[in-house]
Amino acid sequence: MARILVRSAQDPRKIYPPVQASRRMGGNSGNLLYANAVFRALSTSGTRVVPGGFDAHTLEDPTEWVERINRRFDRYVMPMSNAFRFPFSEGLARMTRIVQQLDMPVTVVGVGAQTTADAAENESFRMGRTGSDKLPSAAALAKHDRTVRAFADAVLDKSESIGVRGELTKRYLVSLGVDASRVDVIGCPSIFTWGPGLRVRTDMPGLTSRSRISMNVDYRVGGIGPIVERNAAAYKRLTSPSQDARSARMIINGSEGRSTDHWDPATPIHTGHVLYRTKRLFFYPNPWGWIEDLARYDFVFGNRLHGNIAGIIGGTPAHLLAHDSRTRELAEYHGIPYTLMSDLSEPPLAEELYGRTDYTRFNELMPERFATYLDFLHRNGLETVFDEGQDNGAAFDETIEKGRKVRAVRPTITPIDKVLRRVGR
């Protein structure tokens, strides 16, 4: 039986207590969606799939870890997100050294670049930071480019190709000298969680003030605060899932979130925010429960990529507020409706975004995009639950049935909390 280690912060078959879950998601619960999708796809009858290795690059000396992995596994599969971003340069260098020491095939699934949203138009491949237009020095960027190239070379020494999220990421790697024929554009694996049959609803009526709306928020991106304020006031049933670990623990135990001296207080990062005080700020300790919950919503929108994808996987229409290259290239590849935040002249209401949300193209593209994804996995010698003679993931789905029933955690606000906040005001 083939033994595959899938890089993941959690075991997708387990249910973790909320605090533990917040500490085992790589800082962002969106990370779990694409890791879980790859885990499910590879869980065939003839394969033993094990999660782990998410923090291996943080080890001071990974030698012992590498030796253990070499003894126990036949393959290492790495679902990845925007790992080519500049702040992750040192982490990527450490990953490169680990890959070089492994004596097994290594497959990277869905890695992406991160630069400005207009990079597709001006061919700028300068990697940046989330929510910031400030770029590092030319020397620092050149060093980072060498780090990315070294990582790609190390992976391609142990695989047929590297799977990237979109065309911009491919062009970035090619600009560094990577062979274009060995870079496959596959999108985000999370979209393919359930296979080629996913379709997003297209026949929903318009939104009303009573519609169930989920608004995802990345507090680091300028301009999102006024959008939060306007929509939180307009839709009393609107809720917002917190994806970052610190906000999650704020919801779980009431500890203060982030400083409003540094971040926009209009975003739900502190206990005084209206979404927190009205218990409309959620944390989903289980990603399967998150997907199940959003399947019952009318609409999802916001500037968190996987906050929207969680809704899409559940069949609910979502509208992405794209703010950088990674969000834009995935939306364009999959046909996800989006609006560039830089094009907004005023904060839009959900119903306005809903009016320009059409999933016809997404649904039409789905079979073709899935086939491309499957071809990539096969090219790299990986069998899937979607192959002939397999069960399309039915056996795996039995193991997550309880996880799908795990509901969101809401803020606990005691009477004394209310009194203290009233006094504070």
Give the per-residue pLDDT at 48.
Answer: 98
Let me know whether 85 and 165 are in one domain.
yes
Task: Answer yes or no: is 415 within a domain.
Answer: no
Task: Answer yes or no: is 174 within a domain.
Answer: yes
Let me know whether 32 and 179 are in one domain.
yes
What SS3 class is residue 32?
helix
Let me know whether 145 and 251 are in one domain.
no
Let me know whether 85 and 230 are in one domain.
no
Give the per-residue pLDDT at 421.
Answer: 54
What SS3 class is residue 423?
helix
- Give the total residue count for the chain: 425
Let me know whether 104 and 92 are in one domain.
yes
Let me know whether 146 and 248 are in one domain.
no
Task: Answer yes or no: is 270 within a domain.
Answer: yes
Task: Answer yes or no: is 160 within a domain.
Answer: yes
Give the per-residue pLDDT at 126.
Answer: 82
Let me know whether 386 and 370 are in one domain.
yes
Within 8 A by CB and 6+ apart from 158, the residues are 99, 102, 104, 105, 106
Let me know whether 140 and 248 are in one domain.
no
Give the per-residue pLDDT at 261.
Answer: 75
Q: How many domains does the chain have?
A: 2
Please check whether residue 327 is in contact with residue 303, taking contact to mean a CB–CB distance below 8 angstroms: yes
CATH number of the structural domain spanning residue 248: 3.40.50
Sheet holding 183-185: strands in order across?
47-53, 2-8, 75-79, 106-111, 162-164, 183-185
Task: Answer yes or no: is 203 within a domain.
Answer: no
Let me know whether 234 and 157 are in one domain.
no
**Which stretches of the chain drop beneath a pLDDT of 70?**
120, 123, 414-425
**Maximum distance among all Cα pairs of the chain, rounded to whole angstroms:** 66
Kindly report, residue by residue over 29-61, the tens digit of the pLDDT. Answer: 999 999 999 999 999 999 999 999 999 999 999
Let me know whether 107 and 168 are in one domain.
yes
Give the per-residue pLDDT at 259.
Answer: 80
Let me know whether 125 and 177 are in one domain.
yes
Task: Answer yes or no: is 419 within a domain.
Answer: no
Give the per-residue pLDDT at 419.
Answer: 46
pTM of the full structure: 0.95
Let me know whether 296 and 332 are in one domain.
yes
Please check whether residue 203 is in contact with residue 316, taking contact to mean a CB–CB distance below 8 angstroms: no
Give the per-residue pLDDT at 135.
Answer: 77
Look up the domain containing 59 and give its range. Answer: 2-195+365-402
CA 150 to chain centre: 24
Task: Answer yes or no: is 201 within a domain.
Answer: no
Please check whether residue 79 is in contact with residue 130, taking contact to mean a CB–CB distance below 8 angstroms: no
Task: Answer yes or no: is 316 within a domain.
Answer: yes
Q: At which of 312, 334, 364 does a domain end?
A: 364
